[in-house]
Amino acid sequence: MTATEALASTGFGRDAMLNGRLLPRRPRRIPLPAPDSSTMPDDLVCEPWGGLVDVHTAASLVGASHGTSSPAGQAAIGNLVRAVARRRPDLNVAEAFVDVQQPDVSTVLGRLKELRREAGAEERAAPGGQTRIVPLLLSAGYHVHVDLAEVAAGHEGVSVARALGPDQRLVKVLARRLQEAGLRRGDHVILGAAGSTDARAVADCETMALMLGKYLGMKVATGYISASQPELKSAVSAGRARISQWRFAARNARVLVATYLLAPGYFASLAAGCGADVVTDPLLVPDRETPAELVNLVLERFIRG
């Protein structure tokens, strides 16, 4: 029996030979099993590096957002707070506002203290106090450094965490929104932020633009809706002027605004009317699932302060 005949008599079959040469068999793809969520403990939080941290770092988390009169914006922020509460059922998670909406932060802190007193719950020590305010704000401006700091100082055992931005998880959500909007190579991207009279908040936004540009592999400009320069409409006009100077890509290049706002509302409506070819959705959209990156970010700010 020849080698070819011997091979044909095996399980390799006729397709394993080509012009008398042995061909390697193509490996069969085996799908990986889906992760078993029942094996994941509910009382532990996964940090970005995959480690585990003790959940008993504080008794209460107060998510303090700016507040908005927009029903869509209210729903989007409320969805984020509820997602945080579902992730950490061991905590008292409450929603509060620094402006526009009620209840304000001081009122919520008073209610939480009263609930603990009525329940006779023991105060569990945490770095900085038993209750932590997490600003649901993208930059650390006046509301974080003054408003929330003063409220915390008036309540024993209360601390204030950092603002949400700048952070790489926000970059990933911004990039996803741009991808959903059809971002193409050659497009001119502008980070459209609210703006602030506080230079620290503006610096946070400029840092976010640099981080987003590095992530996308392209330059990202900044434009501000209020209080800061350059104004968003001016940044869009500058982007168009820049595109017009390109010899080859100008015909198809567009101006895209990455909306660096947490939720729909008045500022988001102003961003939508800035004159750009495409304006992305805010980070939170009421009729869509809350991004896991934002839930993880809120919890990390709560844990680390």
Give the Å distances, CA to CA, from 237 to 243, 248, 275, 280, 291: 10, 19, 8, 18, 32
Domain count for the chain, please give it. Answer: 2
Q: Flag whether 105 is in a domain.
A: yes
Choose among 62, 42, 47: nearest CA to 304: 47
Range of the domain at 264: 168-279
Query: Residue 209: CB partners within 8 Å, gap ≥ 6?
Result: 191, 220, 221, 222
Q: Are 144 and 64 in contact (CB under 8 A)?
A: no
Q: Flag whether 256 is in a domain.
A: yes
CATH number for 160: 3.40.50.1400
Q: Flag whether 34 is in a domain.
A: no
User: What is the predicted pLDDT for the residue at 125?
Assistant: 41
Instruction: Please tell me whether residues 271 and 179 are part of one structural domain.
Output: yes
CA distance 174 to 180: 10
User: What is the predicted pLDDT for the residue at 246?
Assistant: 78
Q: Flag whether 7 is in a domain.
A: no
User: What is the predicted pLDDT for the residue at 48?
Assistant: 40
Q: Flag whether 15 is in a domain.
A: no
Instruction: Please tell me whether residues 176 and 152 are part of one structural domain.
Output: no
Q: Flag whether 16 is in a domain.
A: no
Instruction: Please tell me whether residues 115 and 92 are part of one structural domain.
Output: yes
CA distance 282 to 293: 14
Give the Å distances, CA to CA, from 157 to 123, 211, 264, 300: 10, 35, 33, 19
β-pairing verdict for 60-65 and 131-135: parallel
Instruction: Please tell me whether residues 96 and 143 are part of one structural domain.
Output: yes
Q: 186-208 burial by CB neighbour count: b if 16+ within 10 A, else e?
A: ebbbbbbbbbbebeebbebbeeb
Q: Are 174 and 298 in contact (CB under 8 A)?
A: no
Instruction: Please tell me whether residues 182 and 274 are part of one structural domain.
Output: yes
User: What is the predicted pLDDT for the residue at 15?
Assistant: 43
172-214 pLDDT, tens digit each: 999 999 999 999 988 999 999 999 999 999 999 999 999 999 9
Instruction: Please tell me whether residues 268 and 298 are part of one structural domain.
Output: no
pTM of the model: 0.78
CA distance 93 to 139: 22
Instruction: Please tell me whether residues 294 and 157 are part of one structural domain.
Output: yes
H or E stretch at 160: strand 158-160
Instruction: Please tell me whether residues 187 and 255 are part of one structural domain.
Output: yes
User: What is the predicted pLDDT for the residue at 277?
Assistant: 97
Instruction: Please tell me whether residues 146 and 89 are part of one structural domain.
Output: yes
User: What is the predicted pLDDT for the residue at 249?
Assistant: 57
CA distance 109 to 105: 6
Predicted confidence pLDDT, tens digits, the chain (305 residues): 554 444 444 444 444 444 454 444 443 333 323 433 343 333 334 344 333 334 444 489 999 999 999 999 999 999 999 999 999 999 999 999 999 999 999 999 999 988 877 776 554 444 434 799 999 999 999 999 999 999 999 999 999 999 999 999 999 999 999 999 999 988 999 999 999 999 999 999 999 999 999 999 999 999 999 999 999 999 999 999 988 887 665 568 999 999 999 999 999 999 999 999 999 999 999 999 999 999 999 999 999 98
Instruction: Please tell me whether residues 194 and 240 are part of one structural domain.
Output: yes
Q: Flag whether 100 is in a domain.
A: yes
List the beta bridge partners of residue 192: 223, 259
Q: Which two tokens stand for residue 38?
A: 């029942």
Instruction: Please tell me whether residues 267 and 181 are part of one structural domain.
Output: yes
CA distance 2 to 27: 26
Q: Flag whether 267 is in a domain.
A: yes
Instruction: Please tell me whether residues 241 and 228 are part of one structural domain.
Output: yes
